[in-house]
Each structure stands twice: as C-alpha cells, then as structure tokens.
C-alpha cells in the first residue's frame, strides 16, 4: 500500500468511488441484509470494538434508510463511541452521528 499523501488515502477503490449508499446496499446483500450488519455491529460494540462497529452500523443505516430499528441501533452505537472518546471534537462528531436519521 502506498504511503498517504494529501487527499488520497492510497486505496485505489476510493479514487472516484461508487456512491456510499450503493456500496452499503451491495455489502448488506452479501452479508444477508441490513439486519445482519447491525446485529454484527452490536456484537462488535459489546466486545469493545466500537471503531469497526461504527463502520458496520453506518453500512446498515445507508442500506436501509427507512428502517427505524436499524437507525435506533446505529444511534446507540455512535452514542457509545462518543462516550468512549477523550477528544472533544471526536465526541461531538460521534454525538452528531448518533442524532442523524433520514427524514
């Protein structure tokens, strides 16, 4: 993997990527649905891996924007992440993410 330089993270798939919602939908399909993604996110959060849990919770939310149960679980994971952070900036970003929900 190339060293990080400027705006590009060295991951070729991130250069002109597919829309995040499309990637999330495909990954949810492969995982067995958005419910399975959020279930695994909760398992990871309970095991203490909040960073990875947030990735899966975000994918679940993006792949099922109308599912209020998934968004509630997503919010809880981001709220836990906010509480675990020492950086005020990170706390604010994760707290804001916990309050997001599609309209």
Report all structural domains of the chain as residue ranges with CATH numbers, in order of start.
19-99 (1.25.40.880)
User: Tens of pLDDT along 46-80?
Assistant: 999 999 999 999 999 999 999 999 999 999 999 99
pLDDT score, position 74: 98
Mean pLDDT of the chain: 94
Report whether pLDDT(101) > 90: no
What local confidence, expressed as pLDDT, does residue 102 receive?
A: 84
- 5 pLDDT above the threshold of 70: no
* Residues 6 or more apart whose Cβ sits within 8 Å of residue 43: none
Give the pLDDT confidence score for residue 103 in this predicted structure.
72
Residue located via tokens 């909760």: 42
Under the phi-then-psi rule, with left for phi > 0, alpha for psi from -120 to 50, and beta for the rest, what region is 48? left
Q: What is the pLDDT of residue 3?
A: 61
CA dihedral 62, 101, 80, 43 (to 10 degrees): -40
């Amino acid at each position: 993997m190339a060293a990080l330089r400027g705006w590009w993270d060295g991951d070729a798939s991130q250069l002109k990527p597919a829309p995040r919602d499309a990637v999330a939908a495909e990954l949810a399909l492969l995982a067995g649905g958005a419910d399975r993604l959020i279930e695994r996110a909760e398992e990871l959060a309970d095991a203490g891996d909040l960073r990875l849990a947030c990735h899966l919770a975000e994918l679940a939310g993006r792949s099922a924007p109308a599912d209020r149960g998934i968004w509630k679980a997503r919010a809880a994971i981001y709220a836990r992440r906010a509480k675990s952070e020492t950086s005020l900036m990170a706390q604010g970003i994760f707290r804001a993410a916990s309050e997001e929900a599609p309209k």
